[in-house]
Structure 1
Amino acid sequence: MDQLDRRIIAALQHNARASTTHIAATLGVARTTVHERISRMERNGVIAGYSVILRQAEDTPKVQVVVLLEVQQKETARIIKRLEAYPEVKLCLSINGEFDLLLSAEAPRIEDLDILVDELAAIPGVLRTNTSVVFGRRIDRG
C-alpha cells in the first residue's frame, strides 16, 4: 500500500458509499485509478468488506493516546504527510527535546490504537516512539 491507497481507504472509511468519481475528484486523480486500486485492495484482502456504522452519540467515550515520535530530521515533512492519512490522528505538534513530534490519536477501541502505533513505528524515518494512554482530561480549554 502506498500513500494514494491510504488516502482512498481514508475516503472510503469516511463514506463507503462515495462514488469512485467523487473520490477521484477529491484526491485529484483519475477515476479509473481509484477504481483499479479499490479493486486490487479488495482482491488482496486489504479491504475485507464494507459495513454500516451507526452514529455514536457525541458523548460516547473514545480511547485517546499521546504518541511521541523521534524522527530523522530530513524525513520530517514526508512523515507528516504520511500521518495525514491516518484518520485516528487528531493532532500533530512539532516539539523540541528528546522527541520531534507529538501526536494525539483517538479510536473507539484500544486495539485500533495498538495497530496504529505499530504502523507509525514502521514508517521509514521514524526512529523511536513512546506512547501514553490518556486516562482523563483535567483541563480542556479547546
Structure 2
Amino acid sequence: MDQVDRKILNLLQENSKITIKELSAKLNLSTTPIFERIKRLEKEGVISNYVAILDKDKIGKKLTAFIHISLSNHTRDAVDEFARVVIQHDEVKACYHVTGSSDFLLKIMVEDMEAYNTYIQDKLAVAPYLGKVESRFSLSARKDTHMFRL
C-alpha cells in the first residue's frame, strides 16, 4: 500500500459516495488508475464494505451502554457459545472478548432505560454461562468514529 492508496482510503472513509471523477480531481490522477486501485483494495480486503452511518438520535437509539460480562464457565466452548448468542442480538453493536476482571465487553444501543431493562431481562439474562453483569452508561460521546487516518 503506497501513499496514493492511503489518500484514496482516507477520502473514501470521509465519504464513501465520492465518485471516481471527484477522487481523480482531488488526487490529480486519471480515473482509470484510481478505479483499478479501489478494485485491488476491495479484492485484497482492505476495503471490506461500504455503509451508511446513521445518526443514532434521529433513529431513536439515545442510550448507549457498555456492559461488562463475567462468565460462570471459562472453557473455550462456553466462551464461544456465549459470544455466538449475544452477537445475534440487534442491540449489541460491539462484542469484545477481553482481559481483566470481566470476560466480555458489550456495547449496546437502545431507545431508553426501559428498552435497556427489557434487553437485560429478556435477552442477556438467558444467554448461556452468564455470570456477573455490570453496566455503564454513556453521558456523551466525545469521539465515536470508524475512521483510520492513514
Provide TM-score, normalisation by structure 1: 0.55
Unaligned runs of 5+ in 2: 1-53
Unaligned runs of 5+ in 1: 1-56
Which entry has the higher C-alpha Rg, 1 or 2?
Answer: 2
The 5 Å alignment of 1:60-99 reads: 60=58, 62-71=62-71, 72-74=73-75, 75-99=78-102
Deviations 1:9-39 (CA, angstroms, capped at 9, x unpaired)? xxxxxxxxxxxxxxxxxxxxxxxxxxxxxxx
Whole-Å separation in 2 of the counterparts to 1:131 and 1:121 = 13
RMSD (Å) for aligned C-alpha atoms: 1.7
Provide TM-score, normalisation by structure 2: 0.52
C-alpha deviation, 1:114, in angstroms = 1.1
| Percentage of identical aligned residues | 19
The answer on whether the counterparts of 1:121 and 1:129 sit within 8 Å (CA) in structure 2 is no
Whole-Å separation in 1 of the counterparts to 2:128 and 2:105 = 17
C-alpha deviation, 1:107, in angstroms = 1.1
Query: Number of aligned pairs?
Result: 86
Higher RCO, 1 vs 2 (CA within 8 Å, ≥6 residues apart): 2
Q: Which amino acid aligns with 2:70?
A: E
SS at match of 2:109: strand
**Cross-structure match for 2:28:** none
Which stretches of structure 1, 4 residues or more, deviate above 3 A after TM superposition? none
